[in-house]
Copies of this chain bind each other. A is one copy, B any other.
Amino acid sequence: MASNAVMEETLQVLKDHKLRVTPQRHIILAYLVSHHNHPTVETIRDGVGKELPNVGASTVYNTLNTFVDHHLVVELQNGDGSTHYDYFGTPHYHAICTNCGRIVDVTYPGFSDTEKSLEKKTAELSGYMISGNHMEVYGLCPECQIKLGIKNNE
């Protein structure tokens, strides 16, 4: 469940974006703000089951699509067939395990400069009017390295 502070913060975020404040939107956004597990729609429905026992799947999809349109949330595919969602409060990118699908956040000092530089170069070379980017790095997560016998469990 989301803390009082998170509920206030998300209420303000919805208002700032001129989105109608419905219980569904408020609770789903609060869930995303307080969980960084890159959940699927199914995971989100389970996660908000206490507060929204009868929320429709279409409502969750509609809500998330609205958040994506307003750039509050980003979509991620990790190859397991369903879309994952991520509240994007602070800039970061993702490392995705090619074996188990685990998604972890990554950032480092200077990442923002790398990003800006990539966008600037892209604008010059392509003529596109840039609005954003996605960077993902693929590999085996530490657990899968052990599981597959590639790295010893020290």
Contacts and interface: CB of A to CB of B under 8 A. Distances in A.
Interface of A: 77, 95, 97-98, 104, 106, 108, 114, 117-119, 121-123, 125-142, 145, 150-151
Given A114-B118, A121-B108, A122-B106, A95 B128 contact: yes
Contacts of A151: 129
A73 to B, nearest CB: 14
A150 to B, nearest CB: 7
A77 B136 CA distance: 13
A140 B125 contact: no
A140 B121 contact: no
In the assembly, how many copies of this chain are there?
2
B135 A128 contact: no
Contact of A95 (B77, B126, B135): B126
A131 B140 contact: yes
A134 B138 contact: yes
Contacts of A141: 126-128
A128 B114 contact: no
Contacts of A104: 126, 128
